[in-house]
Structure 1
Amino acid sequence: MSDQASQHYRSIWISDLHLGTAGCQAGYLLDFLKHTESDQLYLVGDIIDGWALKRSWYWNQQHNDVVQKILRKARKGTRVVYIAGNHDEVVRQFIGLAFGGIDIQDEVVHTMADGRRFLVLHGDLFDGVIQCARWLAIVGDRAYEITLKLNRWFNHLRARFGLEYWSLSQYLKHKVKKAVNFVTQFEEAVAREAKARGLDGVICGHIHKAEMREIDGVLYCNDGDWVESLSALVETLEGELKIIHWQPRRPAVRRDEPPRLPERLADAPA
């Protein structure tokens, strides 16, 4: 694919952008949106981080550019669906309405090109911590924010040595046994819900872990996030599902500046 080429998909799912936080990789996200087109674009929750914005205001030009790019896609004919998450739960009061050509929903059922039906939702309703101990979730959110700050300094140092981006926060999560157990339980709970509804699969976000695997006859898909993994889930025109990681060609890309070079698509195997 040439530097200026755009890849066209039947559907794209992205979630956990966390616009309104310094941790949002807005430059990479904007580049992804510029170099991909789709008939349908699903924003699967935690698009704007209301929790963080209540604590302190953070919003730069790149965050504006991301919002404008999405609105422009809607105006040009892309079907854009915004599914509310827990960090942008205020959006849930507008479920069933449309703004700027963007439909607001709590969940939807997406039909693939090959006829398979997938439940699409953020996934926070299957997170016991969010539902049963909101205060604990908020404390955890603050700790996560601190980890992301360390992650930014760590990757700034790596960039000075010509090393590629690497997520410290994601590494720590994968090393903690309880966190790994939580992820497994979450994935199984979401898959059970899809199976109970007689659907073929489920697509969600929330846990910032891109994944695609079969669970008890149901295809579980998580599109990841744009804070750590820089990932999206896509459906090709033929109906094939893939996880895409947006990899930088040059490591020394500042968060508050757009990438100097377009990035490459790297299809991760299921």
Structure 2
Amino acid sequence: MKRSKGVAVGSAQDLSTQLAMSGLPGWLNIPEPKSYRPKQHYRTIWISDIHLGTSGCNATMLLDFLRSVECKELYLVGDIVDGWRLRKGWYWPDAHNEVVRRILKMAHRGTRVIYITGNHDEMLRDYAGMHFGGIDIVNEAIHETADGRRLLVTHGDMFDGVVLYARWLAFLGDRAYELLLKANVAFNWVRKRMGMPYWSLSAYMKKRVKNAVQYVCNFEEAVAHQAAAQNLDGVVCGHIHSAEIRQIGDVVYYNDGDWVESCTALVEAADGAMSIVDWAAYLRSEKRQAVAA
């Protein structure tokens, strides 16, 4: 797999000249807004299920997260762009452009970016193995942690019986889920007007539906079984919009969550330790501390 090449850093004028000569867009040289918080440094970050192109995408919150972190490797674990929605009608606000720009900037400034294809961006599966704009496109990958563990990285839709065996039912469920996410957007608009922080109504409802809970458990076990069959130590996936770290037999199951409901990422520290970052909870805590101060 080809590593992306960072642009050499010199003066702003030198960088502008390099960008012009390489044919890269000038906005790569635009400085990031100065953050009031120090950047958090990780060895690896996994994010998935952003669903750019939909009204449910929390692009502004994701952009805030991406501007607050630095990492050596960034995995985009599928459903980054929602091709299913975009086929029905175009929706692409400026915030979605900014997310794409931020990821491209990370790639051109030295972060290795690996795009794992998902079912909503399945149109990219035909381009697996190719390299675009500093980003490697693959259908799955093997990641080695700092402490030597080998992890399968896959979106996870191939382990979803509904998507695999009843595609028409998947689209039907997708429509119902779209309505739930629209309700979530309206719900949080009201909360914001009342000075209240983000809270996912859709995630709350899903966790209280018995069938949904059983589906999640079955999915997790199926994904973990695949990693065990390949003699791997763990698996990282997305797809079901439910962040989780748990031991399943000899395999550690990691799910990085999503950016339409929970707004979470999976991160690896310099020593290989893995954890879930709940950015919505982080911002709520930050706001409480600011009020208390």
Both structures adopt the same fold (TM-score exceeding 0.5): yes
For the 8 Å contact 1:246–1:263, the answer to whether it is kept is no
- Once residues 126 and 222 of structure 1 are traced to their aligned partners in structure 2, the CA distance between those partners, rounded to angstroms, is 14
> 2:155 is matched with which residue?
122
For the 8 Å contact 2:192–2:198, the answer to whether it is kept is yes
The AA in structure 1 aligned to 2:196 is L
For the 8 Å contact 2:49–2:80, the answer to whether it is kept is yes
Structure (1 or 2) with the greater helix fraction: 2
> 1:72 is matched with which residue?
105
> 1:209 is matched with which residue?
242
> 2:129 is matched with which residue?
96
Where 1:9 maps in the other structure, the secondary structure is strand
For the 8 Å contact 2:114–2:136, the answer to whether it is kept is yes
What aligned pairs does 1:39-188 form with structure 2 within 5 A after superposition?
Answer: 39-188=72-221
In the TM superposition, residue 247 of structure 1 has moved relative to its aligned partner by: 2.6
1:32 aligns with 2:65: yes
- Once residues 169 and 286 of structure 2 are traced to their aligned partners in structure 1, the CA distance between those partners, rounded to angstroms, is 37
> 1:245 is matched with which residue?
278
Unaligned runs of 5+ in 2: 1-34, 288-293
Where 1:233 maps in the other structure, the secondary structure is strand
1:222 aligns with 2:255: yes
In the TM superposition, residue 186 of structure 1 has moved relative to its aligned partner by: 0.1
TM (norm. structure 2) is 0.84
> 1:189 is matched with which residue?
222
In the TM superposition, residue 168 of structure 1 has moved relative to its aligned partner by: 1.1
For the 8 Å contact 2:257–2:263, the answer to whether it is kept is yes
How has the CA–CA distance of structure 1 residues 97 and 150 changed in structure 2, closer, same or farther, with 3 Å as cutoff?
same
The AA in structure 2 aligned to 1:45 is G
For the 8 Å contact 2:262–2:280, the answer to whether it is kept is no
Worse-matched range after superposition: 161-170 or 136-145: 161-170
Q: How large is the Cα RMSD of the aligned pairs?
A: 1.6
- Once residues 100 and 190 of structure 2 are traced to their aligned partners in structure 1, the CA distance between those partners, rounded to angstroms, is 30
Worse-matched range after superposition: 120-129 or 163-172: 163-172
In the TM superposition, residue 57 of structure 1 has moved relative to its aligned partner by: 0.6
Kindly report structure 1 stretches of 4+ aligned residues shifted beyond 4 Å. Answer: 248-251
Unaligned runs of 5+ in 1: 252-261, 265-270
> 1:257 is matched with which residue?
none
In the TM superposition, residue 24 of structure 1 has moved relative to its aligned partner by: 0.4
Structure (1 or 2) with the greater strand fraction: 1
In the TM superposition, residue 154 of structure 1 has moved relative to its aligned partner by: 1.2
For the 8 Å contact 1:31–1:263, the answer to whether it is kept is no
The sequence identity of aligned pairs, in percent, is 59
In the TM superposition, residue 175 of structure 1 has moved relative to its aligned partner by: 1.0
- Once residues 180 and 236 of structure 1 are traced to their aligned partners in structure 2, the CA distance between those partners, rounded to angstroms, is 30
In the TM superposition, residue 164 of structure 1 has moved relative to its aligned partner by: 2.1
Where 2:279 maps in the other structure, the secondary structure is strand
- Once residues 163 and 71 of structure 1 are traced to their aligned partners in structure 2, the CA distance between those partners, rounded to angstroms, is 33
Q: Which has the larger radius of gyration?
A: 2
Where 1:247 maps in the other structure, the secondary structure is helix
How has the CA–CA distance of structure 1 residues 33 and 250 changed in structure 2, closer, same or farther, with 3 Å as cutoff?
closer
> 1:234 is matched with which residue?
267
If asked which structure has higher relative contact order (CA below 8 Å, sep 6+), I would say 1
In the TM superposition, residue 217 of structure 1 has moved relative to its aligned partner by: 1.5
For the 8 Å contact 1:247–1:263, the answer to whether it is kept is no
- Once residues 97 and 189 of structure 2 are traced to their aligned partners in structure 1, the CA distance between those partners, rounded to angstroms, is 24
